Amino acid sequence: MISTARANATVWLRKAHGWIGLWGAALGLLFGFSGFWLNHRAVLPLEPEVARGGAQVALPDPGPVDAATMAAWLQLTLPMNRRATSIRVEPARPVPWAAKPGGRGADNPVAFAAGVGLERSRSREREVDPGLGPAASAPGTVPGIAPAAPAASAPAASAPVDGAASASTATGAASAPAPAPAPAPAPAPLMQPEHWIITFAGPQSTLQADYWVGNHSVGLRRTENGVVATLTSLHKGIGMPVGWILLVDTLAGSLILLSLSGVTLWMLTRRRRALGVLVLGTAIAATAGLALSHL
């Protein structure tokens, strides 16, 4: 009884194994070739791309208000037989060479130049004429200007003359310290506008739209794929519909079933099971060891 059940299970597994392998044969060849090239693409002399081209397309007035509207407009205008596969929006930000708040140096050229000019102005105000000697630093004088000659003394009882009073007032006004110059206001950082990158990807070609908000045109770059790149795109499912994705999922399930049914058939039909366990264990150990050693 046990021998009959085992024989029936073996026959059923053989049939299932064969039909599953037949179902995934075509996709297996495709994925085997493209997977081999992807694994050795750094050394194989196969050119994935055959042609590239660029163009500029004028925008309507008013232009699209957001990236999604831009993608829909491009799909209708070009025209494209598929929707955008990727829409990336980079927000507005300071340009790389713009001034940083509180920063000085090569990465802050505007604020650095303003600061250098202010320091030079203040240093000129602090300079002392060597010919003036100690009198130049006397209190009540302006740095860099010789003090006025003292007025002739008058008798104590006599009243001050109007002209002498005016000269004294002018001398006092001239000896008042000059106000310090106001610091220059920090310049506003230069901002680069929002950046939209819209991609229409397919197995044979890829179209990428590049747009900076505020421009009156959008840049287009098209890449035409060769045979190898087309097979690779099919392998990755780039620009393919849901039906293709589901078909590839059946191949993945077939590979799992083929693995399980193959191991089971070996255990049911071979007497040297210890050798089979050794081969299977070695394969698992090699796969796990090489994978984990580079994580």
- Highest-pLDDT range among 157-161, 184-188, 235-239: 235-239
Closest CA to 167 of 146, 142, 150: 150
pLDDT at 49: 63
Contacts of residue 54, defined as CB under 8 A and 6 or more positions apart, other chains included, come to: 219, 220, 221, 222
Averaged pLDDT, 174-187? 71
DSSP string, 86-154: EEEEEPPEE-TTSPPTT--BTTBHHHHHHHHHHHHHHHHHH---TTTGGGGG-TTS-TTSPPPPPPPP-
**C-beta atoms surrounding 124 within 10 Å:** 10
Cβ-Cβ contacts under 8 Å for 262 (sequence gap 6 or more) = 17
Task: Give the pLDDT confidence of 260-281 residue by residue, as tens digits.
Answer: 888 888 877 766 777 878 888 8
Both structure tokens of 146: 């010789």
With a cut of 90, say whether residue 230 has pLDDT above it: no
Q: Is the pLDDT of residue 139 over 50?
A: no
The residue-averaged pLDDT of 209-219 equals 93
Mean pLDDT in residue range 40-55: 74
Q: What is the pLDDT of residues 29-38, one digit of tens each?
A: 888 888 888 8
Return the pLDDT at 198: 96
Instruction: Please give the pLDDT value at position 235.
Output: 86
Tokens of 109: 């050229």
Two tokens, residue 20: 């599953």
Averaged pLDDT score across all residues of the chain:
74
pLDDT at 52: 80
**Separation between Cα atoms, residue 250 and residue 178, nearest integer Å:** 87
Tokens 């739209």, residue located: 209
**What's the distance, Cα to Cα, between the start and end of the chain in Å?**
50
Query: So what's the pLDDT on residue 66?
Result: 92
CB 42 within 8 A of CB 207: no
Comparison of pLDDT for 241 and 111, the residue scoring more: 241
Residue 153 pLDDT class (50, 70, 90 cuts): very low
Q: Which of 200, 196, 201 is nearest to 217 (CA)?
A: 196
- pLDDT-derived band at 218 (thresholds 50, 70, 90) equals very high
Which pTM value belongs to this model?
Answer: 0.56
**Boundaries of every domain in the chain:** 1-48+240-295
pLDDT in tens, 48-84: 666 788 899 999 988 899 999 999 999 999 888 888 9
Give percent above pLDDT 90 in the chain: 18
Q: Supply the pLDDT for residue 275.
A: 80
In the sheet that 195-201 helps form, which strands lie side by side, from edge to edge? 49-58, 217-225, 205-212, 195-201, 86-90
